[in-house]
Amino acid sequence: MKTVTILGATGSVGTSTLDLIEREPERFAVDALTAHCDVDGLASAARRTRARLAVVADEAHLPALRAALAGTGIETAGGASAICEAAARPVDWTMAAIVGCAGLPPVMEAVRRGGTVALANKEALVSAGALMTDAVARHKARLLPVDSEHNAIFQCYDSAAPASIRRIILTASGGPFRTWSRADMAGVTPEQAVKHPNWSMGAKISVDSATMMNKGLELIEAHHLFPIGSERIEIIVHPQSVIHSMVEYCDGSVLAQLGTPDMRTPIAHALAWPYRMDVPGEQLDFATVGRLDFEAPDPERFPALRLARAVVAGNPSASAVLNAANEIAVAAFLSRRIGFADIVAVVETVLDGYDAPAPATLDDVFAIDREARAKAEQAIKSLSRTQTSVSTNQAISN
Ligand code: NAD
Ligand code: MG
């Protein structure tokens, strides 16, 4: 029996993880499940899996959670610190599937107790960087990458002989606007941006895929997980999302991991590791796929790639800035406060001239994160002011 905790159990990755765990109840026992505020989803999952503890991050929802789980014997708790306490409980395996830097404190709790952490929550690693990988080494924890590209690299990467690796090739679908001009992308709506051509995912990562900031975050993530030098990590657009990433060795061999775009495959790999487990569903049908296409990414139409490349090669504290500003800008886009092209423009404004020492502690990371969020809000406000005055001027001249 493997004991498991799922941080972010009600999201896209969280529910895929539950799907796998619930298929093999004799193999997995659930300790804690956490969510932000989806009481119904959390309570239902806790009942089905007979979890020991269910936690909501938003304390205002704790009374509803208590009521939903009354009489089941399942413990309940609420608040961000309760999520950290849940993450600190001893289990064999923790899924880190909270979205955003909000997931960093609980991930670090799981790392500090020396656990095996399946990492979907890329924003946590992007923000904390070496502080997280150092803590993993110090506490003898293990990070198993769940992001499909990083899981693919993990499956192809010979960690015993990193010197024999020539480069890592990170594949990108290119998102829903791969072939669109910059002018056409300016009018993209949240509804269009969250519709990914190949993957079904949460709203934030879907928007990140559309701006290609997701690939930027993944470049930084790969740089921390597979430290061969960021200049040796290349990005290639592969619209079919069949090859999830590749590793090239010094003898010219290129190893790739392929599969259908189903997150249950990388999740299952991390869940069963170092063994394998069955994942039901569609098999890859090569005759139907027919062909695999590749094209160079275009940093002109997708400037997020250029920003991430500069950040990964430069000041380590800038990663936390890039991530925080992006989280704020994506939320502003989803609530229709800014346009699609403004997302990366806001991130660039916040990064512009940013210069601070590398964070020495997690508190430093949180301070950098808070400051970048405040600057992003300012940039969004001044954008809305400019847009209001432009439309007022247009109304006057009409
Ligand atoms: P999602 O929005 O579907 O789910 C997010 C989960 O986090 C939910 O359970 C939500 O309740 C919880 N949450 C949100 N804010 C929280 C907060 N402040 N405190 C505590 N919990 C909070 O997101 P997702 O698509 O499942 O993505 C989760 C993470 O996995 C992200 O970092 C994403 O980049 C990464 N990821 C997702 C996919 C995918 O296919 N969805 C693929 C690769 C990586
Ligand atoms: Mg990915």
Who wins on pLDDT, 331 or 199? Answer: 331
CA dihedral 305, 213, 257, 248 (to 10 degrees): 20
Distance, CA of 386 to CA of 398 (rounded, Å): 18
Q: Say how many Å lie between the CA of residue 111 and the centre of ligand 1.
A: 19
> 45-57: string of b/e by CB count within 10 Å (b at 16+)?
bbeebebbbbbbb
**What is the sign of the dihedral through the CA atoms of 356, 359, 364 and 369?**
positive
**Tokens of residue 276, six digits:** 């394998």
What is the number of the ligand 1 atom nearest to the C-alpha of 124? 32
> Which of 10, 12, 117, when mutated, tests ligand 1's pocket best, judged by the most ligand atoms within 8 Å of its CB?
12
Query: Residue 353's pLDDT is what?
Result: 84
Query: Residue 397's pLDDT is what?
Result: 41
Q: For the segment 33-79, what is each residue's pLDDT rounded down to a tens digit? A: 999 999 999 999 999 999 999 999 999 999 999 999 999 999 999 99
Mean pLDDT of 126-154: 98
Task: Indicate the helix (H) or strand (E) that contains 211.
Answer: helix 203-211
**Tokens of residue 319, six digits:** 């990663």
**What protein residues have CB closer than 5 angstroms to ion ligand 2?**
147-149
**Could you report the predicted ipTM of this complex, rounded to two decimals?**
0.99
Cβ atoms 257, 172 nearer than 8 A: no
Report helix angle 104-112 to 362-397, nearest 10: 160
- Between the alpha carbon of residue 2 and those of residues 29, 38, 240, the distances in Å are 6, 26, 35
| Amino acid letter for position 297 | P
Gyration radius from the chain CA atoms: 21
Query: Residue 392's pLDDT is what?
Result: 44
Q: Say how many Å lie between the CA of residue 27 and the centre of ligand 1.
A: 25
**Tokens of residue 116, six digits:** 């095996």
Look at residue 134 and tell me whether its pLDDT is greater than 50: yes
Q: What is the rounded average pLDDT for all residues in the chain?
A: 95
Distance, CA of 72 to CA of 60 (rounded, Å): 21
Shortest-distance Cα residue to atom 23 of ligand 1: 202
What is the number of the ligand 1 atom nearest to the C-alpha of 200? 40
**Tokens of residue 242, six digits:** 């069949």
Ligand number with the minimum distance to the CA of 218: 2
Give the pocket of ligand 1 (CB within 6 Å). Answer: 8-14, 35-36, 38, 57, 83, 97-99, 102, 120-123, 147, 199, 201-202, 204-205, 263
Shortest-distance Cα residue to atom 22 of ligand 1: 36
User: Which segments within the chain are labelled E, that is strand?
Assistant: 2-7, 28-35, 53-56, 75-78, 93-96, 116-119, 142-145, 165-172, 233-237, 243-249, 254-258
Q: Say how many Å lie between the CA of residue 56 and the centre of ligand 1.
A: 14
Q: Say how many Å lie between the CA of residue 316 and the centre of ligand 2.
A: 21
> Which of 17, 42, 99, 267, when mutated, tests ligand 1's pocket best, judged by the most ligand atoms within 8 Å of its CB?
99
Mean pLDDT of 161-182: 97
Ligand number with the minimum distance to the CA of 120: 1
Cβ atoms 241, 266 nearer than 8 A: no
Query: Residue 389's pLDDT is what?
Result: 53
Distance, CA of 231 to CA of 57 (rounded, Å): 38
- Name all domains of the chain by residue range, CATH numbers in brackets: 2-145 (3.40.50.720), 153-259+288-397 (1.10.1740.10)
Q: For the segment 239-286, what is each residue's pLDDT rounded down to a tens digit? A: 999 999 999 999 999 999 999 999 999 999 999 999 999 999 889 999
